[in-house]
């Protein structure tokens, strides 16, 4: 079990905490200080020790930062969190739409020439710092490396996590750690690099076939590593986490004290690769002239799953699908107005925990009913816990971390009798989801080249949504995994073996939200009569099997092909999930998957 601390600022705590930070800024001779939602590894989730943004502002989203100046404190959030941030932060903080408004642009408007803004170089990447420097040229505003001022004023800051690491079995990994290190060492040699610094814990976990538990929801351990061009690995991690793992790690892995990292980097003979988008500025400073920019060598191999990882993920999704159907059958039997969001969350986690392979949920379950469903990354609390009322839509986004795979699924569920506006929007979202599921595309295209297909039905109605169409998913690793995405910003070509989500949505603030999400794995597409034999095509294989709420579908707006896809999908759900259910859930499933 994870020990949790109350690190999120309540509204009344925001003003005094900000005042203390401003006092620390003045003492340090700074006009501002940056507080990101980040740790030294740039992961999506942070340990309680690193939850500085939530502690200061109350904002709990998975991305964003605060720029605290003497008279204004901007909280920068993207489109996913525009509604959430207004509800969470005290009025001493000013929400700023980001990336529409960049930090440098905002600082130019708020600070005079000569302004000095501090930042912790462990918490900001090389790319970030380079971007600020370019954008602030000629402004007279200086970005200054500083000790972390939040740590200095956070008196009861939790300690860094020190939880044990365990081996990840070869039957789930599909490739030995020795093979991975040898394979990637050859990549380094071909590039002329002597070594690569690995800063992201999921890369290290994947490379060495280990899993950790330093933070909830993601099976990773905090640490850094250096992969040498001969396949050796220097692992900078607290030894207490690795008790009993010497044989698993083997002689090619040297465990080093975490505090020896910076001197070790300074002593390396270059060229030493590091990823500008994820490596903290502090590490680049330590490498000096020996450092060269390059991609994390683990990123693409980790994203292109082995046959064992794909088989494990498929198996995990079937068990997870059964848990979801048990929940949906139970939910459908409850009268509108008789349940609250927290009861749905608790019941779903109970359904999942019947599987002994479950290690954790893969993220905090989102169960947003009515207006709460319009908050894309909503997390229910005592203050927001709402009744599932007649006419509401419930957005239920959840997943599990199983030994053999990571799941992530969203279903939008009608509570009682849904409205026509809701049904029309749901049908458009479903059409986008079906369009992406059916897609074939030429190999070599990236997420940005195809993601519009999942938005087109909404665009035709003058609607859209402020999140990507899909993200990569790990194999018993991070539920949000790069570098591949279904996003207009992603230039990474999609490859066979990559697992991504397909999750179009629609959100009407103050009214309702809709999202439908399946996980898909990219694979080679079979040849078609009349197709170009020399043109390699890819397609999707669906991993998620849970019914889509037929009560929310305007049948006549679906094309013949869309209805055929939905009926075939529901038939497969019935065949794959039905044998895993109890009698009552099986009866419910038969009705829920009847032809449209």
Q: Would you give the DSSP letter of residue 95?
A: E
In a domain, 199, yes or no: yes
For residue 410, the model assigns a pLDDT of 98
The continuous run of DSSP H or E covering 168 comes out as: none
Domain boundary among 129, 153, 177: 153
Same domain assignment for residues 129 and 203: no
Q: Which residues pair with 523 in a beta bridge?
A: 539
For residue 547, the model assigns a pLDDT of 98
Same domain assignment for residues 182 and 145: no
Pairing relation of β-strands 73-77 and 94-97?
parallel
Q: Do the Cβ atoms of 515 and 412 come closer than 8 Å?
A: yes
Same domain assignment for residues 93 and 53: yes
Same domain assignment for residues 434 and 309: yes
Same domain assignment for residues 458 and 426: yes
Kindly report whether the global pTM for this prediction surpasses the value 0.85.
Answer: yes
Q: Would you give the DSSP letter of residue 525?
A: P
For residue 497, the model assigns a pLDDT of 98
Same domain assignment for residues 423 and 476: yes
In a domain, 139, yes or no: yes
CATH number at residue 182: 3.40.350.10
In a domain, 1, yes or no: no
Same domain assignment for residues 134 and 228: no
In a domain, 159, yes or no: no
DSSP states of 324-363 as a string?
HHHHHHHHHTSPTTS-BHHHHHHHHHHHHTTSTTEEEESS
For residue 7, the model assigns a pLDDT of 82
Q: Which residues pair with 234 in a beta bridge?
A: 226, 254
For residue 6, the model assigns a pLDDT of 60
Domain boundary among 274, 295, 316: 295
Same domain assignment for residues 249 and 281: yes
- Backbone angles phi and psi of 184, in degrees to 5: -75, -30
Tell me if residue 515 falls in helix, strand or coil. strand
Q: Give the per-residue SS3 of 400-430.
A: EEECCEECCEEEEEECCCCCHHHHHHHHHHH
In a domain, 147, yes or no: yes
Same domain assignment for residues 237 and 101: no
Same domain assignment for residues 229 and 373: no
Pairing relation of β-strands 440-442 and 400-402?
unpaired
In a domain, 447, yes or no: yes
Cα–Cα distance measured from residue 268 to residue 291, given in angstroms and rounded to the nearest whole number: 9
**Phi-psi region for residue 288, left (φ > 0), alpha (ψ -120 to 50) or beta?**
left
How many independent structural domains does the chain possess? 3
The continuous run of DSSP H or E covering 367 comes out as: strand 366-369
Domain interval for residue 62: 11-153
Residue with tokens 């990823």: 275
Contacts of 205 (CB under 8 A, 6+ apart): 168, 211, 212, 219, 220, 221, 477
Cα–Cα distance measured from residue 361 to residue 401, given in angstroms and rounded to the nearest whole number: 5
In a domain, 148, yes or no: yes
Tell me if residue 501 falls in helix, strand or coil. strand
Same domain assignment for residues 380 and 526: yes
Same domain assignment for residues 112 and 223: no
- Report the chain (596 residues): mean pLDDT per 10 consecutive residues: 60 92 97 96 90 94 92 91 84 90 95 95 97 94 97 95 96 98 98 98 98 94 98 97 96 97 96 97 97 97 98 98 98 97 98 95 96 92 94 98 98 97 98 98 98 98 96 97 95 98 97 98 95 94 98 98 98 98 97 97
In a domain, 3, yes or no: no
For residue 377, the model assigns a pLDDT of 85
Cα–Cα distance measured from residue 287 to residue 270, given in angstroms and rounded to the nearest whole number: 9
- Backbone angles phi and psi of 269, in degrees to 5: -85, 130
Domain boundary among 153, 176, 194: 153
CATH number at residue 319: 3.90.230.10
């Amino acid at each position: 079990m994870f020990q949790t601390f109350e690190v999120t600022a309540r509204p009344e705590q925001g003003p005094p905490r900000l005042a203390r930070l401003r006092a620390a800024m003045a003492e340090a001779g700074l006009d501002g200080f940056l507080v990101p939602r980040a740790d030294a590894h740039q992961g999506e989730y942070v340990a309680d020790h690193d939850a500085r943004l939530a502690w200061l502002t109350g904002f709990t989203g998975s991305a964003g930062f605060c720029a605290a100046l003497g008279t204004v404190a901007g909280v920068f959030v993207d489109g996913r969190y525009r509604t959430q941030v207004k509800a969470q932060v005290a009025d001493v903080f000013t929400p700023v739409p980001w990336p529409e408004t960049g930090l440098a642009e905002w600082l130019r408007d708020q600070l005079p020439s000569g302004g000095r803004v501090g930042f912790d170089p462990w918490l900001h990447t090389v790319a970030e710092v380079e971007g600020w420097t370019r954008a602030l040229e000629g402004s007279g505003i200086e970005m200054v490396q500083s000790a972390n001022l939040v740590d200095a004023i956070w008196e009861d800051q939790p300690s860094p996590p020190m939880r044990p690491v365990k081996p990840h079995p070869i039957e789930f990994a599909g490739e030995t750690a020795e093979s991975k290190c040898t394979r990637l060492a050859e990549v380094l040699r071909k590039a002329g690099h002597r070594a690569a610094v690995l800063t992201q814990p999921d890369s290290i976990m994947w490379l060495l076939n280990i899993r950790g538990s330093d933070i909830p929801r993601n099976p990773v351990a905090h640490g850094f590593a250096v992969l040498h061009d001969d396949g050796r690995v220097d692992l900078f991690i607290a030894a207490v986490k690795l008790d009993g793992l010497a044989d698993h790690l083997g002689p090619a892995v040297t465990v080093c004290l975490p505090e020896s990292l910076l001197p070790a980097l300074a002593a390396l003979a270059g060229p030493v690769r590091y990823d500008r988008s994820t490596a903290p500025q502090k590490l680049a400073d330590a490498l000096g002239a020996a450092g060269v920019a390059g991609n994390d060598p683990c990123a693409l191999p980790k994203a292109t799953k082995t046959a064992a990882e794909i088989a494990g993920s498929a198996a995990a999704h079937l068990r997870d699908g059964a848990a979801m159907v048990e929940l949906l059958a139970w939910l459908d039997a409850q009268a509108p107005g008789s349940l609250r969001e927290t009861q749905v969350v608790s019941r779903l986690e109970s359904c999942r925990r019947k599987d002994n392979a479950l290690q954790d949920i893969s993220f905090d379950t989102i169960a947003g009913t009515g207006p709460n469903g319009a908050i894309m990354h909503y997390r229910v609390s005592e203050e927001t816990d709402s009744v599932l009322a007649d006419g509401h839509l419930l957005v239920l986004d959840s997943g599990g971390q199983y030994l053999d795979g990571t799941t992530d699924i969203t279903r939008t569920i009608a509570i009682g009798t849904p409205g026509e506006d809701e049904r029309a929007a749901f049908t458009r979202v479903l059409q986008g989801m079906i369009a992406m599921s059916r897609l074939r595309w030429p190999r070599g295209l990236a997420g940005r080249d195809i993601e519009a297909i999942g938005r087109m039905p909404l665009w035709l109605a003058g609607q859209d949504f402020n999140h990507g169409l899909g993200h990569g998913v790990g194999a018993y690793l991070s539920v949000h995994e790069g570098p591949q995405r279904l996003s207009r910003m992603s230039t990474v070509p999609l490859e066979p073996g990559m697992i991504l989500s397909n999750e179009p949505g629609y959100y009407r603030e103050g009214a309702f939200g809709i999202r439908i999400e399946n996980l898909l794995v990219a694979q080679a597409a079979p040849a078609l009569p009349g197709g170009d034999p020399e043109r390699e095509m890819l397609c999707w294989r669906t991993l998620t099997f849970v019914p889509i709420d037929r009560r929310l579908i305007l049948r006549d707006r679906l094309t013949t092909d869309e209805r055929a896809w939905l009926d075939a999908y529901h038939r497969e759900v019935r065949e794959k999930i039905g044998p895993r259910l109890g009698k009552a859930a099986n009866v419910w499933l038969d009705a829920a998957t009847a032809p449209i």
